[in-house]
Amino acid sequence: ILSNTKFHEHGETLAMMGLTLNCLGRKEEAYDNVKKGLRNNLQSHVCWHVFGLLQRSDKKYEEAIKCYRNALRWDKDNLQILRDLSLLQIQTRDLEGYKMTRHQLLMLRANQRAGWIGYAVSLHILGEYESALNVLTTFRKTQETNKGKPTDYEYSELLLYEASILIEAGKYKEALAHIATHQDSILDTQSWLEMAGDLLFKLGHYDDAILIYEKLISRNPENENFLDSYIRAHHPQSVDEQLDLCDKFREAYPKADTPILYALKHSTGERFERNLHRYFQKQLRKGVTPLFDITKHLLKDPAKMETIERTILQYCEYLEKNQKFTEDSEGTELPVAYLHVMLYLAQLYDYKNDFKLALYYIDRAIMHTPTYIDPYTIKSKIYKHAGNMTEAVTWMDEARTLDLADRYLNCKCAKYMLRAGMLKKAEETCAFFTREGQPAVENLNEMQCMWFLTESAKAYYRRKDWANTLKKCHEIEKHFVDIVEDQFDFHPYSMRKMTLRAYIGLLRLEDSIRAQDFYNQAAEIAIKTYLHLDEKPYEAINGHGTGNHDQISEKERKKLESKRRKAAAKKKQNQDPPKNDQKNKNTSGGANQNENENLPPPINGDELAKTEHPLDEAISFLDHLRYLSPDFAPTHNYAFQIYHRKGKLLLMIQSVLRALQHHPDDPAVLLHIPQLHTYVKTKSEVSGVAKEIVDAKMSELVPNGNIDQWISSQQHRHSRSLTHTFMLSCARAYLYPETVEEERKRILNFDTTSSDLKSCIYVLEHLRAGKLSPSMPDIETFIACCRETYPQSTAFSPVPPEERSRDQVNS
C-alpha cells in the first residue's frame, strides 16, 4: 500500500507499519512511522491507538493512557480501545477512571459477562460494596435460566466472591444466608465450610459452628486454627476444660501432631510433663529432625524450658546406659533415638547461647553417625550463632559434600560463604545448579534469586565496595518493578476464568509487594550506602575498588591495578573477534539480535555511586519503607538521619514520633532525640502554626525541655543494656563534646558478660565508624573484653597490623 504514490502518506497504514516494526524489535523505525502517521491524520483513532500500544510496550503506561484517551475522542465507543484503557487503569491503580471505563463497557455490551464482572470488581476495589453487590445480583439472575441454576465451577466462584464482598461489608447475616441458600451450587466445599464456620462464630451461633469445625478438623486435623476455633466456640471456663476438648481430638486422630502440640502450649505442671513424654518419645523414635524447631516456641516459658531440658538430659542418660527413655520403658530403643536426643540437646544449648555445651553434644552426634547430614548443618548453625562464619562455612560445606544433589544444602552453603565474605567461592558453589554456559551470578539474577542478591549486597557493603553494593540493591529494586509489571497479563485472565477472589488477593498483594523482607533489607543497605556517600563522595579507582583512597593499602592497590589490566586485555580481545566468529555472527538469524537490542542496559554500579544527590536517591528507597513497612525497625531511624541532613524539621519530628510508636526501645532514638532537641534550639527557624506544632511535640518528647534530666531517666531505665548505654553516651558527647573521653571510658569499662553477641558487634561497628572518637588501642580494648565473653566469634579477632597502620594514617 505504501509503495503506491497515492497512499504512501496514509496515516493509518503508516501506524500499522510501525506496529509491525515494533514487533520485530525495530523500535526507532516503529516510532518514526507511527509519529509520521499521526502527523498525517491526527483525527484517526487507529493512529492514536497504535501509538498507545507502542508506549505500553515500553512500560510508559501514563503516556499510553493519554494516547488511548485521544483515540476515544474520535471513536468514543470503540470496545478494543476501552478494554486496553481499562487494563492500563487498573495496572496504574487509577481506580476511579477504571470504574468509569468498565461502566462504559457494560453499557455498550450488556450481554457480555466480562462487562458485568469487570464493573463489579471496580466497585469492590473502591469499597462501594452495595453497588458491587447489586451488579453481581443482577448479573447472577441472568445466569439462572429456566433450566435451573448453573452448577459449573465459574458460577461457584462467583457465589463465593459475592459472599466475600458481603463479609467485607460487615453483613454477616446476609453472607451466611447467601452461602446457605446456594450451598448446592458451591463446589468448593472447603471454602464453604471455612466461611460458614467463621460466620456462625461471629454471629454467636456456637453450636452450629462447633459442628462445622468438627467437619473441618476431620478433613484436616493438622490445622491449628480449626482446633483453636472449635475450643473457643465451647467457651471453656478453665485451662483443664480446654485440654479435655483437645484430648478428644488427640484420641480421635492419634497420628496428628497439632492436638498434642496445642496441649503442650497451654498445659503446665504434671499435665505438661505427661504430654511432653508422650510427644517427645514418639518423635524421637521416628527420628524427626525438626523436633526442636517444632517445639521452639515452648522455650519462651522459663519453667517449660527447664522441664524440657531436664527431660531430654534424662533421656540421654538412660539411652546411654539402658537404651531406654526411662526405667519403666518397655523394650529397647533404636540408635536413631539416642542420636536425635543429642541433636536436640545441641540445639537447645545453642538456643541458650551455651555454645560450649552445644558443640559438645553435636560432636558426640557426629561421632555416633558420621554419615548423617543433619548434625553437620546443626554444627554449622551453632558456629554461625557463635559469630564464627568461617567455621560455619567449613561444616556446611562438609554437609553439602555428603549429598551433592541436594539443592537446599548447596544454597545454604553459598549463603554462609557470602556472609563470610567468600563471594567467589559462593558463585562457584551456586554454579553447580545454574544454567551451563552462563555465569552463575547472571543466571541467579535472571531467575530473581532474592536471597543471593541480598546476601551479595551485604557482603559488598561489608567490603565497602559501594558500587557493587548499589548495583545489587538496584537489581533487587528492578525485580520488584518487574513483579509489579508482571501482573498485567492477569487482569484479563482473571476476568475470563472467574478466579475473582484470588484476583482481588493478587491486587492487594501487588499494592504492598515492597513490604516484603527482601526489599526491606535491600532498601536498608542502599540507604546506608547513600548516607556514607553523602559524607564521602565516591571516587572509583580505575573502575574498581571501594572509592576511598585513604582506606586502600598498597597491597590492595596493586591487586586492583592487576585486575584493571586483565579486564582491559579481555575487553580488547572481545572487541577484535576472530574472522570465523564474525562470519557466524553475520550468518546468524536477526531474531536473536533484535532480542539483545531490546534487553535493558545492565546496571552500572559506578554510575550509581557517583550520584551528585545521594540523599535524594536514598529517599527513593525510604519512601517505600515509610508507607509499606512502618514496623521495620530501621525505617524511621534512617528517615531521621536523611531529614536531619536535609534540614526538614517537621519530618524529623515525625520520624522520631513514629519510631517511638513502632519501636519505643530502639537505641537509635536515644541519640536522635538529643540531636533533634539541639537542632530546634540552634537552627530552627519556624513560625506560626509550624512553631506551635514543633513546641507541642518537643514538649512531649522532652518534658520541660530539660534534656539532661531526660538522658538521666533513660540511663536509669536502660542501665543494663550495652547498646542503649552506648547511644546515651553518644548523645552526651554530642551535647557536650568535652565529655567524649569520659563517655568513651564508660563504654570501655562496661560489663559485656551480660550483653548478647549482636549488641557487642553493634557497638564495635559504631566505634570503628568513629563514634566517641576512639583510638585504635581503645578499639582493641573493647575487642578484648568482647572476646573473653564470646571467644568463638571472629568479629572480635585481634586487629590486623594493616588495619592498625591504616587507622594511624587516617587519624
Q: For residue range 315-324, list pLDDT tens digits in order.
A: 999 999 889 9
The vertex-460 CA angle with 457 and 461, nearest 5°, equals 85
Average pLDDT over residues 483-502: 91
Contacts of 50 (CB under 8 A, 6+ apart): 15, 16, 18, 19, 34, 37
What phi and psi, each to the nearest 5 degrees, are found at residue 313? -65, -35
Give me the sign of the Cα torsion angle 444, 424, 408, 473.
Answer: negative
pLDDT at 24: 87
> Would you list the DSSP string of 158-203?
HHHHHHHHHHHTT-HHHHHHHHHHTGGG---HHHHHHHHHHHHHHT
Lowest model confidence (mean pLDDT) among 57-71, 490-504, 564-578, 657-671: 564-578
Instruction: Tell me what the mean pLDDT of segment 156-165 comes to.
Output: 94
- Residue 69's pLDDT is what? 92
pLDDT of residue 704: 85
Close Cβ partners of 615 (under 8 Å, ≥ 6 residues apart) = 530, 531, 534, 642, 645, 646
Judged on CB neighbours under 10 Å (0-12, 13-18, 19+), 719 is: exposed
Contact criterion met (CB below 8 Å) for 183 and 160? no
User: Who has greater pLDDT, 588 or 142?
Assistant: 142
pLDDT of 281 higher than 90 = yes
pTM above 0.85, yes or no: yes
Q: How confident is the model at residue 549 (pLDDT cuts 50, 70, 90)?
A: very low
Dump pLDDT digits (tens) for 419-458. Answer: 999 999 999 999 999 998 889 999 999 999 999 999 999 9
Above 70 in pLDDT, residue 1? no
By CB atoms closer than 10 A (0-12, 13-18, 19+), residue 55 is: buried
Q: Report pLDDT digits (tens) over 715-756.
A: 999 999 999 999 999 999 999 999 999 999 999 999 988 899
| pLDDT for 6 beyond 60 | no
Average pLDDT, whole number, for the chain?
88
The whole-number average pLDDT for the span 10-28 is: 84
pLDDT at 421: 92
- The pLDDT, as a whole number, for residue 141 is 84
Q: Which residues pair with 148 in a beta bridge?
A: 145
Q: Check residue 20 and give its pLDDT.
A: 87
Please tell me the predicted confidence (pLDDT) of residue 150.
66
Task: Point out the least confidently predicted range of 216-220, 526-530, 805-809.
Answer: 805-809
270-279, 406-415, 696-705: which has the minimum mean pLDDT? 696-705
Percent of the chain predicted with pLDDT > 90: 71
Under 8 Å between Cβ of 44 and 74? yes
Write the pLDDT tens digit of every residue in 381-392. Answer: 999 999 999 999
* Mean pLDDT (whole number) for 491-511: 92
pLDDT higher than threshold 50 for residue 693: yes
What is the Cα–Cα distance from 591 to 598, expressed in whole angstroms? Answer: 11
pLDDT at 677: 92
Average pLDDT over residues 533-550: 64
Residue 228 has pLDDT above 60, yes or no: yes
Q: Long-range CB contacts (< 8 A, 24+ apart) of 147-154?
A: 149/182, 149/184, 149/185, 150/185, 151/184, 151/185, 151/187, 153/187, 153/498, 154/497, 154/498
pLDDT at residue 589, as a whole number = 45
Mean pLDDT of 614-619: 95
